[in-house]
Amino acid sequence: MRALLSKIRRWLHELPQQIWFLPSAITMGFFVLIALIISLRYTSFIEAIEGQLSFLALSSADTARSILSTITGGLISLMVFSFSMVMVVLNQATSQFSPRLLPGLISNRQHQFILGFYLGAILYNLSVLARIAPSDSDRAVPMIAILLAILFGVAGLVLFIVFIHAISQSVRIDSILDNLHRNTLASMEQANQLAVLNSGDASLPEEQEDWQVIESRASGYLIGIDAIGLLEYCQEQDICLSVLAHQGAFILSEEALIKINATSETSDEDKEELLSFFRIAAGEDIQSDYMRGLHQLKEIAVKAMSPGINDPATALSAIDFLTSLLQSFLKQHLNYCLVGEDNSPRIWLKPVPFSELLFRLYAPLRTYCTGDVMVAQKLIHTLRQLQKIEGLPQSERDTLENEIEEVKKDAQQRMLNARDVERILSL
């Protein structure tokens, strides 16, 4: 039962993030509006409103059909044109910056709202058009419905102008970098809210030889953990649990995923219930795993320095945003332990070692970007900035210093100008 509740909670959490959710919700809102108009059409309140609208000359069935047909055709043309433009812009953005940006650009809420409005307004017009009675019928035209259709048509034109402005802004590299930075930072802060400093009493037990290992049932990325449900389960079963893979890691089927200190052999049913709290999927999600955002910024910088694009300015901006996120990462505690209501440690989460993270991010940057003196200088400068963070452990300062030396070595090998090499080595 708890596993089912965990799946339902996960589904409800992920539902608003689906691309189809907002357009479907708006379309359903239009259907509700249609149902209200149909059910209330002959009430005294609606008749009084239509009496006040008689000066608009919308009582003619032929006029109403012409208006609805014109508005519907116009909205369909706007929708087709708008989202054809989206596809062109997305193709340009992914080819110039990084194909991994596509999910984030597609999931733009503003674009989803406009799509939902167009779809809902078109279906609304078709439904009203089907409700227009023959011309010789009494009260053949639902006048208030025709007026709303006109208002929706005008709103569609306004949204088209808003859409043109939004799509032109969304593909600017500074806007892309800023959105990616904010989304990654929000994901980082959300992950930090579930974590508690792994201090003295919460240290991971050294003796784990007798702990039972539970293997993954599927292959994919460890996108998320239902920490609340898992903590409740551990408290109920009076067990402790250690996660063997960090969030964002790729897990193979039958690979060890967790260890538990259960005194008796865990049944297959209990194993399935435990694994249900772990979300393993083929896709990557910035909202659930902030590491994806860090790697996307790195890929934008690498892509910008490719011979076909050759855009050092974009690489410099991406490195600046990447440094900002690394600063936030370093200010967090790397070792986390979730504690129960009795303040006893229950779940240990495996953090990503800073040295490993820095290598994954800066190794490609060193390989593809150190041939440019300005980008190499920026890499060293940002690493020096990270070294100045107050309260940074000496081990991490040494890791940053080692990375600076590696950047200098790679730059020395790739640069042909002696003065440029001298300038880099002096930093």
pLDDT tens per residue, the chain (427 residues)? 555 665 676 666 666 667 788 888 999 999 898 888 877 766 676 666 666 666 565 667 777 788 888 999 999 998 888 878 878 877 777 777 777 676 666 777 888 888 899 999 999 999 888 877 665 454 556 777 888 898 999 999 999 998 888 887 777 888 888 888 988 888 887 766 655 443 444 667 766 777 888 898 888 888 778 777 888 888 888 888 888 888 778 889 888 889 888 767 778 888 888 888 888 877 666 556 788 888 889 989 999 998 888 889 999 999 999 999 999 888 875 557 777 777 778 888 887 888 888 999 999 999 999 889 999 999 999 999 999 998 888 989 999 999 999 999 999 998 888 899 889 988 8
Q: Are 331 and 197 in contact (CB under 8 A)?
A: no
Give the Cα separation of 396 and 25 in Å (integer): 48
pLDDT by residue (tens digit) across 352-394?
Answer: 888 888 999 999 999 999 889 999 999 999 999 999 998 888 9
The number of beta carbons lying within 10 Å of the beta carbon of residue 373 is 18
Strand order in 241-243's β-sheet? Answer: 212-215, 256-260, 241-243, 345-349, 336-339
Sequence-distant (6+) residues with CB within 8 A of 374 are: 312, 316
pLDDT by residue (tens digit) across 201-259?
Answer: 466 776 677 788 889 888 888 877 877 788 888 888 888 888 888 877 888 988 888 98
- At 137 the pLDDT is 52
Give the Cα separation of 420 and 377 in Å (integer): 10
- At 13 the pLDDT is 64
Beta strand 345-349 with 241-243 is parallel
Give the Cα separation of 192 and 322 in Å (integer): 18
pTM (2 d.p.)? 0.77
- At 9 the pLDDT is 64
- At 340 the pLDDT is 73
Sequence-distant (6+) residues with CB within 8 A of 119 are: 23, 26, 27, 79
Collapsed DSSP state (helix, strand, coil) of residue 85: helix
Give the Cα separation of 205 and 198 in Å (integer): 12
